[in-house]
Copies of this chain bind each other. A is one copy, B any other.
Amino acid sequence: MRIRVHVTPRRGVLDPQGQAVAHGLSNLGFSGLGEVRVGKVVDLELTSESDPEAALATARKMASQLLANEVVEDFSVEVLG
């Protein structure tokens, strides 16, 4: 079962990478750009889980233990199929 974990900076936390991307895009001539936030996406293949709920629970545990720093980052999990 493939699971996707999104890790994004929490609202209110400074995101220098997002600011750099916004700056780069405006230098390239893109206008009308509001907030840009950059996060990580982790695609996991969980070979031992066939139940979607169990797989999501495992992925949440992985995210809170390793993938995300919950002081400054939020995460969400979804089943890819």
A residues near B (Cβ < 8 Å) are 6, 8, 18, 21, 24-25, 28, 30-49, 58, 61-62, 65-67
Contact = CB atoms under 8 A, between A and B. Distances in A.
Contact of A25 (B8, B34, B66): B66
Contacts of A18: 42
Assembly stoichiometry (copies):
2
B42 A21 contact: yes
Contacts of A67: 21
A42 B32 contact: no
A34 B8 contact: no
Contacts of A6: 41
A48 B26 CA distance: 13
